[in-house]
Amino acid sequence: AQSVTQLGSHVSVSEGALVLLRCNYSSSVPPYLFWYVQYPNQGLQLLLKYTSAATLVKGINGFEAEFKKSETSFHLTKPSAHMSDAAEYFCAVSDRRGSQGNLIFGKGTKLSVKP
């Protein structure tokens, strides 16, 4: 069975600092992995996805994530935080290969950005 663990329910960084949000997964099949962002009172917006192509995935808003099979990790990074990055971030794994797979989400990490 697939599962996702996000380390740290709350991360706080200063504006301009590195953002690192951690995600480890468990999957019985080669995984498809995703990061979504959720702003208050809104739905989920896809930041980036890994679907077995390049292991370093670049997404929107300057975010990127690296798939590391040996570590079963898919950590999200951004070199320089902006105030507008403050939101909740969810890592997700698909429960099966193919475009009809369903998403299994972690519990989320709330990112705060201090001026």
Chain residues in the site for other proteins (CB under 8 A)? 4, 32, 36, 41-46, 49, 51, 90, 92, 94-95, 98-108
95: left (phi over 0), alpha (psi -120 to 50) or beta: alpha
In the complex, minimum distance from the CB of residue 14 to other proteins, in angstroms, rounded to a whole number: 25
User: Do residues 48 and 57 make contact, with C-beta atoms less than 8 angstroms apart?
Assistant: yes
8: left (phi over 0), alpha (psi -120 to 50) or beta: left
In the complex, minimum distance from the CB of residue 38 to other proteins, in angstroms, rounded to a whole number: 9
- Give whichever of 18 and 54 is closer to other proteins, judged by the CB atom: 54
User: Do residues 34 and 92 make contact, with C-beta atoms less than 8 angstroms apart?
Assistant: yes
3-state helix, strand, coil in the chain (%, to 5): 5, 55, 40
- Give whichever of 14 and 52 is closer to other proteins, judged by the CB atom: 52
- Give whichever of 70 and 100 is closer to other proteins, judged by the CB atom: 100
In the complex, minimum distance from the CB of residue 78 to other proteins, in angstroms, rounded to a whole number: 21
In the complex, minimum distance from the CB of residue 8 to other proteins, in angstroms, rounded to a whole number: 14
Between strands 87-94 and 109-114, the pairing is antiparallel
- Give whichever of 17 and 108 is closer to other proteins, judged by the CB atom: 108
